[in-house]
């Protein structure tokens, strides 16, 4: 039992380290997008946000070993864990090919914030700063949710696969 607990702690440490690296990358990309949001060109910030997420979300998946290609290489029992988790969480982008359409769905979660950002952009200087802050916050939020989902799936994969059904373990 002690060895299992130690192995679980090691998996959590690795998962936390990957999450920290991903959060740093997210912050860098969100700062870039925030800088673009300050440019008073309508629609440029949306294009940048979508472009950043289309590239960033698959990078996060890969960092956790959860890109579609990496999932296909897993043992069948591990694939089953991933697919069950993905089917339970309808909004998850873990293990999926990230397309512009999926990114637009993810951005709908922060849609009000981004609509406000578009309106704020037309107020000179202060509005552009508000627009940049809202862009930064929206990207950080979407990516943080994705990182947490990836961590949850990767931690589930680290659990030992059960050899016998749960009912048999309880009875025996």
Task: Say how many domains are in the chain.
Answer: 1
Residue 127 resides in a domain:
yes
Residue 166 resides in a domain:
no
Residue 170 resides in a domain:
no
Residue 168 resides in a domain:
no
CA distance 10 to 156: 14
Residue 167 resides in a domain:
no
Read off the pLDDT of residues 102-119 as tens digits, 9 standing for 90 and up. 676 666 666 545 555 555
Could you tell me which residues come within 8 angstroms of residue 26 by beta carbon, excluding any fewer than 6 positions away?
56, 60, 139, 140, 143, 144, 147
Could you tell me the residue range of the domain that residue 151 belongs to? 2-161
79 CB-contact burial (10 Å; exposed 0-12 / middle 13-18 / buried 19+): middle
Residue 172 resides in a domain:
no
Read off the pLDDT of residues 27-81 as tens digits, 9 standing for 90 and up. 999 999 999 988 877 778 778 888 899 899 999 999 988 888 888 888 888 888 7
Residue 171 resides in a domain:
no
Residue 60 resides in a domain:
yes
């Amino acid at each position: 039992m002690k060895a299992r607990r130690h192995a679980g702690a090691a998996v959590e440490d690795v998962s936390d380290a990957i999450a920290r690296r991903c959060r740093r990358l997210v912050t860098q990309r969100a700062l870039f997008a925030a800088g673009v949001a300050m440019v008073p060109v309508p629609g440029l910030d949306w294009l940048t946000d979508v472009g950043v997420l289309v590239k960033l979300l698959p990078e996060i998946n890969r960092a956790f070993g959860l890109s579609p290609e990496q999932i296909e290489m897993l043992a069948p029992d591990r694939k089953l864990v991933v697919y069950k988790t993905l089917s339970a969480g309808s909004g998850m982008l873990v293990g999926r090919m990230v397309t512009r359409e999926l990114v637009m769905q993810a951005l709908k979660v922060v849609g009000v914030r981004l609509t406000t950002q578009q309106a704020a952009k037309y107020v000179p200087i202060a509005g552009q700063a508000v627009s940049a802050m809202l862009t930064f916050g929206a990207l950080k939020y979407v990516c943080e949710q994705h990182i947490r989902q990836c961590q949850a799936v990767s931690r589930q994969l680290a659990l030992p696969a059960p050899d016998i059904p749960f009912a048999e373990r309880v009875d025996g």
